[in-house]
Amino acid sequence: MVRVPVPDPHRHGRMLALGAYRPVRVVGNDEIVPALGVSDEWVRTRTGIGSRRFAGPGESLADMSAAAADKALAEAGVAPDELSMVLAASMTHLYQAPSLAAEVAHRVGARRAGAADISAACAGFCYSLGVANDLIRTGSAERVLVVAAERMSDLLDMADRSTALVFGDGAAAVVLGPSSTPSIGPVVWGSDADHVRAIEQPRSWRCLLDEPGAGWPFLRMSGSEVYRWVISEVAPIAQRALDAAGVTVADLGAFIPHQANLRLVESLVKALELPESVAVARDVITNGNTSAASIPLAMEELLRNGQARSGDLALLVGFGSGLVYAAQVAELP
């Protein structure tokens, strides 16, 4: 029989600080549309996107992650060797080993931390936040670094209208620590395997060895299938996260859904009947869809431009390839 410590009911997890890294190169629609036979107007109408950023040399996934992590650690006043765990959420870490988290732990000097990656596509940040919060609440960790980073451009077929217009690169990091008051609500998560093929890398990396001339296995997305699923399933998921936290939309300072497409954001705002007072994340307009990084980057934008403040309650909703989803209410760092 193992001995287990009794969790302290007054020990909670809290986001202490947030750091972001956006690649230097801004890419407008005009640069991308010629290869796709559509106009800037068409892209803006269908997705709301006007530009996105693509990572360049010196902006590997690890580079961007470490930059964001360093900012978050400095802002939190936490030394890297105080970290107990590094969690990294990404769907574009192209190395089987070491994990992105281990690489980041090495770069930032988190000598005493465990390190593990979470692969939950565009829901990666919300999954990681849920896990980090629970690690702290149970006493499994003291301070956790959550990194969400993507280099979607590595998997993007610039001749594919369904993906080339939508995705972008970037990284964000959050440092979490213990708190005597609740700050992060229960996570509502799940997956809908009926749509497991809706967003996928259709062939394994093995194809590069097995099939000469196979070509790079670019990410493929069945846009209308995903759009339809989001419109019918995500608002109820968001509502469950509100109910689990015992709050209503009137209590919210911010709504930060995964920045997949501006029309989806607006549809969710309408379905949830958000009051005018709630700040809505629309980072997708200038940043595109940065998958796992989209929610924390959008959070950073709202805080930076003053639309939301530290301590405000935010409803976070992530959903992506799987189709997996996770949502929770949390106080902004």
Partner 1 sequence: MFTKDIHADFADILYEVAGVDPADAAPEKSFTEDLGVDSLSMVEIALAAEERFGVKIPDGELTGLRTVGNAVDYIEKVLAAA
Residue positions annotated with a catalytic role: 122, 258, 289
Q: Which residue, 26 or 231, has its beta carbon nearer to partner 1?
A: 231
Q: Which residue, 153 or 261, has its beta carbon nearer to partner 1?
A: 261
Beta carbon of residue 232, minimum distance to partner 1 (angstroms, whole number): 5
x/- map, 252-291, partner 1, by CB under 8 A: -----------x---x------------------------
Separation of alpha carbons 326 and 199, rounded Å: 17
Does 40 bind partner 1 (CB under 8 A)? Our answer is no
Does 84 bind partner 1 (CB under 8 A)? Our answer is no
Q: Which residue, 264 or 292, has its beta carbon nearer to partner 1?
A: 264
Of the chain, the end-to-end C-alpha distance in Å amounts to 40
Separation of alpha carbons 41 and 53, rounded Å: 19
Q: Which residue, 45 or 204, has its beta carbon nearer to partner 1?
A: 45
- Under a CB-based contact definition with an 8 Å cutoff, are residues 150 and 320 in contact? no
Separation of alpha carbons 170 and 63, rounded Å: 10
Does 206 bind partner 1 (CB under 8 A)? Our answer is no
* Closest C-alpha among 304, 205, 318, 301 to residue 259: 318
Neighbours of 178 (CB within 10 A): 18
Single-letter amino acid code for the residue at 257 = P
Who contacts 7 (Cβ-Cβ below 8 Å, separation ≥6)?
A: 137, 138, 139
Who contacts 41 (Cβ-Cβ below 8 Å, separation ≥6)?
A: none
* Segment interacting with partner 1 (CB under 8 A) among 57-65, 178-186, 211-219, 227-235: 227-235
Does 248 bind partner 1 (CB under 8 A)? Our answer is no
Q: Which residue, 29 or 90, has its beta carbon nearer to partner 1?
A: 29
Beta carbon of residue 223, minimum distance to partner 1 (angstroms, whole number): 9
Does 44 bind partner 1 (CB under 8 A)? Our answer is no
Residues of 257-283 as b/e, b for ≥16 C-beta within 10 angstroms?
bbbbbbbbbebbbeebebeeebbbbbb
Does 45 bind partner 1 (CB under 8 A)? Our answer is yes
Does 231 bind partner 1 (CB under 8 A)? Our answer is yes
DSSP string, 3-14: --PPPPTT-EEE
Spatial strand order in the sheet of 144-151: 12-21, 169-179, 144-151, 85-89, 114-118
* Segment interacting with partner 1 (CB under 8 A) among 20-28, 134-142, 153-161, 224-232: 224-232
Does 195 bind partner 1 (CB under 8 A)? Our answer is no
Binders of partner 1 in range 154-193 (CB under 8 A)? none
Separation of alpha carbons 263 and 46, rounded Å: 7
Give the pairing type, strands 254-257 and 279-280. Answer: parallel
Count of chain residues binding partner 1 (CB under 8 A):
10
Does 224 bind partner 1 (CB under 8 A)? Our answer is yes
Beta carbon of residue 160, minimum distance to partner 1 (angstroms, whole number): 17
* Segment interacting with partner 1 (CB under 8 A) among 121-129, 166-174, 211-219, 220-228: 220-228
Q: Which residues bind to partner 1, rule: CB under 8 A?
A: 45-46, 224-225, 227-228, 231-232, 263, 267
